[in-house]
Amino acid sequence: MIGIALFTVSAQGAILKNKFQFRSPRPTIVAIIDTGVDIYHKDLKDAIWINEGESGLDHFGNHKENNKIDDDGNGFVDDVHGWNFVDNSHDVSDENGHGTHISGIVQREFKKQIMGKSHASSLKIMVLKYYSANSKNEKNLADSNRAIQYANKMNAHVINYSGGGYQSSGPELRAIQDSLKRGIPFIAAAGNSQTNNDFKSYYPSSYCLKNMISVAASDQRGRLMTFSNFGLQTVDIAAPGKRILSTLPQNTYGVMSGTSQATAFVTGLVAGLHATQSWSRFAQLRELILSRGKFHATLSGKTKTQMAILTSERF
């Protein structure tokens, strides 16, 4: 995870098949609120969101993506793939690598949910860059709040948030409440401080909202990682966060560990469910998620569900 920081199918599933029918995948926009993304990476370039209001030609025959005009009137100039809130620009490149790593995990898990690569293009990653190691925590938090507001305004279907801290924020809470009103699931990292979030809240994952899914990190067998935060009342589920291989800038790959990576696994799952299933209430979404999870006794007292999303596939 980074601080305001980022850190770096069961029998029940068979029962649910009659309640939630698979369908041909629909377009699904996932907002990755992170350090940016290498939008030219060979494994990600076809999954990058395009703002239709900032693409194509304007009435002068110039390309909207770089004509220095706010063509869609949303308050951001040339935001064709998202926005860089650190520098207030359309350059969403990733010098850190964290956001690119997260995006690769989301894409991989999404492909699994839609049963292959034939419909993989239905995933679109909206790049919202908020974190800089050179910025003070106050600025990172303010930029992150603006990123959430942008995702809401531009109709993201799922929000992935791998950052956090121990200070609550009214503007942050209100932004996520707006996500809730719009029906947007908000997937957030539980944190990497070996802390019980029931007693020391970690935000935004500790906000008690129906659209919030807080994710701890497990190993590939579902056992809680020693670095991971936990909480019987505040953390929903665990997912793999140990030495996860994924994309990095400049067409490279690398391994990272953390609740950030675990969060990306769940986001990919939720995005796939959005693309292929229907639900009208967040309780139904949680039921769908749990149908893909596995009960693990070692998570007793550590998460609400004692369940982990596991994966046996390599990148």
For 310, phi then psi, to 5°, come to -110, 160
**Cis bond before residue 204 (omega within 30° of 0):** yes
Q: How many CA atoms lie within 13 A of 35 on its CB side?
A: 25
Strand partners for 307? 295
Strand partners, 5: 2, 164
233-288 confidence digits (pLDDT tens): 999 999 999 999 999 999 999 999 999 999 999 999 999 999 988 877 888 898 88
* Entry pTM: 0.91
DSSP 102-124: HHHHHHHHHHHHTTSSTTGGGEE
Q: How confident is the model at residue 44 (pLDDT cuts 50, 70, 90)?
A: very high
Domain formed by 5-308, architecture = 3-Layer(aba) Sandwich (3.40)
pLDDT, average across residues 219-234: 96
Alpha-carbon distance of 90 to 65, in angstroms, equals 9
Residue 101, both tokens: 């790593």
Local structure of residue 25 (DSSP, 8 states) = P
User: Mean pLDDT, to the nearest integer, of 276-303?
Assistant: 88
Task: Read off the DSSP letter of residue 8.
Answer: -
Per-domain residue ranges for the chain? Answer: 5-308
